Chain A
């Protein structure tokens, strides 16, 4: 059983304790098991475009070190999992810059 500290935005929304205990041998399993307790959390945490890792504005930290194998990173018994903002501010989820080259 790992202790998972929920990302701040989600904690803020659902309230309650900052952490829960969750089963899972890999980060992917942990998130998938979290989905049962907090429906919709998978979509918030996982970005399919990014090679099986969490969304780009976040870092998944397992026992104090970043999840170097993305969602495949093993999670040991009694591990701690944190979801923290990425080192740089992180580009927001989506952005469209107006492309007006055609109009010139």
Chain B
């Protein structure tokens, strides 16, 4: 039942990237997605698995300024990239205005989709600081929420937008 030394050593790939603002080095198993790598290899469980096929956005991360579903990338593809996960959204010791707005506007019920939404919304407001409700809905259409009906999420993003303009 135990693995032989040869069997247990999978040819892992050394990866260097910038993760949540920090230079980070790790050994990536080549067959693991970025989602699995974040959660299992790096212990960052804030990014959630909802579907594992790029259709729900629960695993949204920011890679080189672009929001992507981490389940659609391989962990080895993190090489040389700048990656932000939910764990990097808040400034040290505080909350990002989006996080504060989500709390004040009751924009989460079960909270499982919240990390994905926050990463997406942060990228949205950085790209379009003056986004209209329609633009917000468009940007966030890749993040599924089953609990809230989206209404309070939109209100929260609008609130954060108005505060940071």
Q: Would A and B touch once assembled, by the CB under 8 A criterion?
A: no
B residues near A (Cβ < 8 Å) are: none
